Structures are given as C-alpha cells and as structure tokens.
Amino acid sequence: MNTLIFATNNTHKVDEVRHILKGLWNILSLKEAGIDINIPEPHDTLEANAREKSMTIYHHTKKNCFSEDTGLEAEALGGDPGVKSARYAGNDKNPAENTAKLLRELEGQYNRKARFRTVISLIHDGQEFQFEGICQGTIIEEKRGNAGFGYDPVFVPDGDTRTFAEMNTAVKNLYSHRKKAMDRLILFLATKNNG
C-alpha cells in the first residue's frame, strides 16, 4: 500500500482523511512518521500556507506527502476569519474562543453566508500539485451539536438544516470541503498509479 505523510498532528483531520480514503492509502500523521518539527503558517493565503507545510515535510523526509490549510470565510466579514481561522481569537488556537469571537463579529448581521474552503498541497515525486474544495453554508447564532471540531457547531451547509457538529462523519462528508478536495487528490493519485 502506498504511504503518504499528512503534514499535521490534528487527529480530527487525520481521522476525517482516513475515513475518506477508506484504506486506499496508508496515511501517517507527523507524529506517526516520527517527525517533531513546528511548521510555520506565515502566509496570507491558504494556498501559500499549505505549500509551506508540504514543502517543509518533503525537504525533511524526501517522501511523498501532503498538507492542507482550511479557512472559514464569512461573507459579511470580508472573508474573515479565512487564513486566520485557527488563530482567530489568539495564538493558542482555542476553538471555543474562535467560535465565540466569530459569533460576536456577526452579531446583528443579516448576512450569515459563509463557506469552508480547503486547499491541499501534495508533493509527489518532488513536484507540487494543489486541490481545492469548497462548502457553502450559513453561520447560525448559537452552537448546536457535539461532533466535529472547530467551527462545526455553528456552520450549516447549504442543503441541510443540521450543523456539521450534528452530523456523523459519513453525513458530513456528503458536504465537506475537505472531502471535495480529497476526492480531487484521490483522482489525481489514481491516474498517477495507473499511468
């Protein structure tokens, strides 16, 4: 089985990706790959941050790897929190505080439209390829549900009435931005393997 290093130690993201791949590839988190380095995310776009992470791991290991950067982009906030999503309320990356700040910023706003956007950066045989996935939806006024992570308790995807945090992984993947980006990655890897 082919192995890919996933440039993250976020267990929620690793679990989601493994569920999507259904055992087609062996996915190793940084910890599982024995890599203990802090990868900076200094850039102002998801694309550049994803590239920073994947290139850092590739230069460190010389092995095929991928990373992703995801942002929640609220229309009324001009696309914020966006690339700052994980650190919206501060550098300690506290999801509850990030969500509370988002709800404060949107208080009284009629326009609650938002989207999750994921950019995956794959380094395959030393070359970079990027894949994007987008999920359109709405930010509700109060948290609902206990599943998921991050902003999931306040995000309802278009076409449903439940938040991501009220869905199990299989249902969430019907809408998921990460799933859409991963599907493009899987298709690419399948053509590489068959070619």
Question: What spatial distance separates the first Cα and last Cα of the chain, rounded to whole Å?
Answer: 17
- 151: CB partners within 8 A, 6+ apart: 72, 85, 95, 98, 99, 102, 116, 139
Both tokens assigned to 32:
């599982």
**Cα 62 versus chain centre, distance:** 23
Is residue 30 within 8 Å of residue 13, measured between CB atoms? no
**Tokens 């019907």 found at:** 174
Is residue 147 within 8 Å of residue 167, measured between CB atoms? yes
Q: Give the residue numbers annotated as catalytic, written as ranges.
A: 69
The candidate with the shortest Cα–Cα distance to 27, out of 79, 73, 65, is 65
Q: What sign has the CA pseudo-torsion 61, 58, 43, 74? A: negative
